């Protein structure tokens, strides 16, 4: 009988560890407001935009690897900030990263725009350019709106 007790693992430490993780998660999310969740969605959207841009332009001379890197680093940094007590700054970091990413995108694509505007090689903008431009600008606008949303609940008295 004693041997049976020795062989069976004690479930109590695992249960305590799981409860501890849940408590930590609840502590992180306890004081967050609706803007925090919008920030999380925008972090995922930023990664998606960077991946779409990379997929469409990876073999083109108009690809700005810096734009993609800035957006991904900004998304990662925002996620880290969102899970710390400094969560109110995550939206600002993400907005800045998307703005700088847009600027590098413009820097990388300006020659294509000038070629099309003058009519040297093409008479109209291709769908890749239109899609990426709309996505970059939409991310900037959504992030600027998100900066003004409440990220952290007010402390209760």
User: Would residue 3 count as lying in a domain?
Assistant: no
| Structural domain of 116 | 33-147
Of 3-7, 73-77, 109-113, 153-157, the poorest mean pLDDT is in: 3-7
Residue 152's SS3 state is strand
- The proportion of the chain whose per-residue pLDDT surpasses 90, expressed as a percent, equals 55
Please tell me the predicted confidence (pLDDT) of residue 2. Answer: 55
User: Would residue 129 count as lying in a domain?
Assistant: yes
Residue 55's SS3 state is helix
pLDDT single digits (tens) 48-78: 999 999 999 999 999 999 999 999 999 999 9
Residue 39 has pLDDT above 90, yes or no: yes
DSSP string, 46-64: HHHHHHHHHHHHTTSTT--
Local confidence band at 20 (pLDDT 50, 70, 90 cut-offs): low
Q: Which residue has the tokens 């409440």?
A: 150
Please tell me the predicted confidence (pLDDT) of residue 26. Answer: 60
37: buried, middle or exposed (CB in 10 Å: 19+, 13-18, 0-12)? middle
Please tell me the predicted confidence (pLDDT) of residue 27. Answer: 62
Q: Which comes out higher in pLDDT, residue 12 or 87?
A: 87
User: Would residue 137 count as lying in a domain?
Assistant: yes
The mean pLDDT value for 86-109 works out to 94
Residue 126's SS3 state is coil
Local confidence band at 157 (pLDDT 50, 70, 90 cut-offs): very low
User: Would residue 118 count as lying in a domain?
Assistant: yes
Local confidence band at 33 (pLDDT 50, 70, 90 cut-offs): confident
Q: What is the DSSP letter of 85?
A: T
Domain count, the chain: 1
User: Would residue 64 count as lying in a domain?
Assistant: yes
Q: Which residue has the tokens 């734009």?
A: 67
User: Would residue 20 count as lying in a domain?
Assistant: no
């Amino acid at each position: 009988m004693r041997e049976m007790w020795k062989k069976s693992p004690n479930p109590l430490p695992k249960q305590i560890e799981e409860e501890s993780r849940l408590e930590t998660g609840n502590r992180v999310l306890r004081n967050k407001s609706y803007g925090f969740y919008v920030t999380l969605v925008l972090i995922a959207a930023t990664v998606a935009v960077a991946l779409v841009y990379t997929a469409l332009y990876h073999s083109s001379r108009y690809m700005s690897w810096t734009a993609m890197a800035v957006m991904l680093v900004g998304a990662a940094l925002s996620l880290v900030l969102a899970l710390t007590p400094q969560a109110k700054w995550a939206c600002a970091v993400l907005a800045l990263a998307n703005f700088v990413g847009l600027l590098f995108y413009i820097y990388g694509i300006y020659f294509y725009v000038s070629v099309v505007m003058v009519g040297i090689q093409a008479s109209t903008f291709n769908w890749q350019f239109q899609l990426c431009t709309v996505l970059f600008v939409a991310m900037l606008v959504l992030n600027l709106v998100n900066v003004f949303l409440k990220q952290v609940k007010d402390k209760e008295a």
